[in-house]
Chain A
Amino acid sequence: MKPPAFDYLRAESIAGALSAFQEKDGDAVYLAGGHSVVPSLNLRLQAPSSLIDISAIDTLSGISRHDGWLRIGAMTRHVDVLKNPEIGKHAPLFQAAAPHVAHPAIRNRGTIGGSLSLADPASEFPAVALALRAEMEVVNPQGLRRVPADDFFIDIFETDMESGEILQAVWIPPVQAGQVHAFDELARRQGDYAMVGVAISGILLAGILSEIRIAFLSVGNKPTRAVAAEAALIGLPVNAAAIAVAQEELEKDLDPPEDPQLPPAARKHMARVLLGRTLTTLGASA
């Protein structure tokens, strides 16, 4: 299990990283935390001629607030997502999801930008970004662009980013009055890939849900909104009757692929159970 040989260069700036990628004619991979790239190299699932280490670029680091939005630099490690007080205050759904991301030592190296740009349909942060209406700050030689999470995740391991672009940060909208959240997942063992997971963000004022976004992970090729279940909940209190209707409606939202490990019917059943649990938590949190 050794990767094929490659060149390594450490970029000092975004401009340097982007031009290095162009010089290699795209036969290069950006290296941040390396916790998806390096296993894929070890397993020889990819064999680029160069690795461009972007971990030292300062615009990728840091957690800051601008006009109420929270900007989380792409190099922010999972352990910092878990522990950072700013994230706890302004994006607590990320903090609720972080303990489910792999194991402690992986969380010490893996990065939020790596997780979002890899877009593994079983990973937690893409679903959280979708539930929170986060926006991705993507950089290319022409400049910056912001891509809403709804348009960012396209397919399995596929995002709106073009080859050579770099995800520089994720932006979280300001917390609103009455904003509530819940996250949970079902996995065979702590830290394993989830069989089903769900991230929910909503607005619950005077006991009535006025807005809700429910994003499932591990139910298809990308993080998946449960729009029918969401619609069933709007304008109602989050009580047992409303939850039961949302669970019924979920049938319309999910169409999991055939999987010898977990048949679609079983996955949908687990999603219904999980939705019931997380909505109950959500209702109790206001």
Chain B
Amino acid sequence: MKTEISLTVNGEELHAFVEPRLSLADFLRDSLRLTGTHLGCEMGACGACLVLLTGTPVHACLVLAVQAAGQDVETIEGLSERGAIGDLQKSFYERNALQCGYCTSGMIVSAHALLAENMTPARADIRDALSGNYCRCTGYEAIVDAIETTAVRRKSQVEAAE
């Protein structure tokens, strides 16, 4: 039996009828065609499916769509369109911090959340923030570099503005 839910996705209010067993990730990908949220392990280990639920990163594979009722969901598409991660994307591109790109959405969601909380993370903080994100291509060094570069650039922009 389907359940009616109302929620906000990337700033847009939505109403939908969903099966209780439908994960938020499948709802985003299959019902809304927001395929930037990737599915890897579907058990909360790989971090490819991270989205923001009321501003904090969560695994969309471990949240049921019905549990997201009444809440704000933001995906990699929403972050990208409102310009929140343009500099992160640029640093990832410049530093070659992705090869196949499967993990990248999740990496960027984690990085975005880290930098929102800590403007000057040490490399150890960055690695800790990414501890739940698997990348099987890069060996992580380039990803940590790209996030570190973004943090430094953001800090110098803030200082220049002051």
Contacts and interface: CB of A to CB of B under 8 A. Distances in A.
- Physical interaction between A and B: yes
A264 interface: no
Contacts, number: 82
B67 A190 contact: no
A4 interface: yes
A5 B56 contact: no
Interface stretch (B6-14, B43-51, B79-87, B95-103): B43-51
A146 interface: no
Interface string B122-142: 000001110110000000000
A41 B1 CA distance: 18
B150 interface: no
Q: Secondary structure of the B side of the interface?
A: mixed
B57 interface: yes
A43 B45 CA distance: 13
Contacts of B34: none
Size bracket of the A interface: 20 to 34
B132 A6 contact: no
10 contacts: A2-B26, A5-B21, A8-B3, A8-B66, A34-B63, A51-B20, A103-B132, A105-B110, A190-B131, A191-B132
Given A38-B23, A104-B57, 6 more contacts: A42-B61, A102-B132, A103-B131, A104-B110, A105-B56, A190-B127
Interface of B: 1, 3, 19-21, 23, 26, 42-44, 47, 50, 53, 56-59, 61-64, 66-67, 110, 113, 127-129, 131-132
